[in-house]
Amino acid sequence: MFKVRIHGRAGQGAKTIAQLLAETSLKVGKFVQAFPSYGPVRTGAPMNAFVRLSDEPISIYSEIKEPDAVLVIDPLLIDMENVGAGLKKNGLIIVNSVHPSDVLKKKLIKKGLHSQVKVIALPASKIALEILKKDIPNTVLLGALVKATGVIKLNDLIKTVKEKFNKKLGSELTNANIQVIKKGYEQV
């Protein structure tokens, strides 16, 4: 089973990352769970989303305490929460940040992150602003996760994005989202 925990703020697209990852995995025959967890619902409040992907039925129905991978949409949450809590020692953490990966890793190790965890920092907000013209870095991080883990195939994700976003956002914004996914994928 592959487990992902996403740290973000309400309105930043953590739930969307979870849904896209789950829907894509479901289409290729995986068993999935994807759900958000937040306190008082208000834009900007810290929240988490969780995803489980497996070749076998999933019988666990709780938040993910020991993820294989962690995505951090808002880098300010690193100072507010222990985003690496429970992350497996050979795990992966991907952070939306302009700071180098090694700088973030040292900061996270001081907060208890295992030194063998791989840390990837990428300027997801900057990429999103350039292409989407909005600070919506979630799909950039999803592209990076796909490349770093191989948990799903990029082409399968793109197919899901087209199906889901074309109706909702139209072809121009759908293509822009595909472009940022590919950019995140290339950054790893």
As a dihedral over the C-alpha atoms of residue 105, residue 154, residue 126, residue 120, rounded to 10 degrees, the angle is 10
pLDDT of 39: 65
Which strand (E) or helix (H) includes residue 85? none
pLDDT of 159: 97
Side-chain half-sphere of 58: how many Cα atoms within 13 Å? 19
Residue 2 confidence (pLDDT) above 70: yes
Residue 162 confidence (pLDDT) above 80: yes
Percentage of residues of the chain with pLDDT beyond 90: 88
pLDDT of 10: 86
pLDDT of 44: 77
> In whole numbers, what is the pLDDT of the chain averaged over residues?
94
The class (CATH top level) of 2-187 is: alpha beta
Structure tokens belonging to residue 8: 């973000």
Separation of alpha carbons 185 and 98, rounded Å: 16
Higher pLDDT, 169 or 53: 53
pTM score of the predicted model: 0.95
pLDDT of 45: 83
Would you say 163 and 156 are in contact if contact means Cβ atoms under 8 Å apart?
A: no
Backbone phi and psi for residue 3, each to the nearest 5 degrees, phi listed first: -120, 135
Question: Could you read off the pLDDT of 30-88 as tens digits, one per residue?
Answer: 999 999 987 666 677 889 999 999 999 999 989 999 999 999 999 999 999 999 999 99
Domain boundaries, the chain: 2-187
